[in-house]
Structure 1
């Protein structure tokens, strides 16, 4: 049943949430600050991958994360809402529920990946209904819910053993092991420290269109490199014998060499053409803040 949470409880929960870059932690902190409250000072804050946060406030033990982490039974009904449970000492725990809209750039990113013939898999620690809804909205056929860090790692390793080259994209501490196990990996600059360290590539801003753009640019780079190699080899095959036979003057040979270099450089400059610009980080951050509603329930 819905209940009113005291401002003190909200401030303490937000104080603990500040120790994590998990999207729900950030949403909780934003909501508390929107209400004009200051997150409380928390000591001994630590994050347990796949479970949640723990810490102390004035000697009182705190936990924020999954229901199991806070000593609660799972909800009988899964309504597709994202949630965080919060336990403060021996007090009855509360559950913060989040209703999240899709990122504005998510559908475009998935569409561009599929256009290139890539298979997209969704791995999430969230509950089944929420993950299914996101997968259906984005047209993702392979989705795994309630995935622990170990489950994500095993999933990526299984694909790799099957001969697949896996690009793992993640931003949280729960994704670190899977990021390290992928054939290659990417994380946003806003990811957790462990996530950024585990990823091979860190992209600036928050727009996930960077994933599709990076793949498109890398494909163009491969094509251009092959074209430049063919141009260079072709020039030498034709020009060197002519120069050795004395059929080309030194001046003409020098001009031809410079011209070939200009052609190769001009061909390489084509990499910057047709690249879809990314949304600004500021715009994404505002959209992220606007699309989250926070409620507390018993």
Structure 2
């Protein structure tokens, strides 16, 4: 395992931040950690990245124990926090060279690595511009490049796209996919459930410092319930008739929508089409709707906020 966490506890005074956390992350994958505010996500990342000592349990990253082999762990990881760690007065290339020198690469190697990363993240044309002239997405990509200056085996991304617009988030997502394609293992915490859905091979939902659920996005969505067929009618006068034709539908008169759960998506669509066409009822829209990660989150944590 790239990351192995078992029975980890961390307390701040008498307040538990982690209460028996278990986590396994396979090499070369993106593993997302979700949870409400105060669930322990950032504490977990700080423990796994050797920035914080846990009270109990076992944590191994890249095959090394974070408590007894912290220098070996640090040599094999990268960390991108919630706030950019860039000098805005310096050019992008100068920032990367500085990080390279701080990591003992030497002047020549730091320069070569800076050029390599600028090209990799689509910043070669702007590498000599000061960071203060960069867009939000460009800054975050540069920050991500800086976290890779030593080519880490495992990369921790703690809410990497917070505050970015959709274009900026998309740029970072593309960069993350490229990293994983190159063999890097990524552990991602995020407040955007869509981000986990788009990027993660597996997702762990934590609440009150322990695992509430874990699986692929589809596996977690299945915990909430079955897929639903959703029908939007053209004519409000046909709503009651359509409701009698479909199996126990939920009806929303305001939006002229009917929906019902199905075990088999294709069979459900076929049944609906036959029933409506046979009765001469016209549908404006007909679709299969899957449960969302938002619904999983609210169902399993019983809270209204998604989190940091």
TM-score tier (shorter): under 0.3
- TM-score scaled by structure 1? 0.25
Which structure would you say has the larger RCO, counting Cα contacts within 8 Å and 6 or more residues apart? 2
More strand, by proportion: 2
User: Which of the pair has more CA radius of gyration?
Assistant: 1
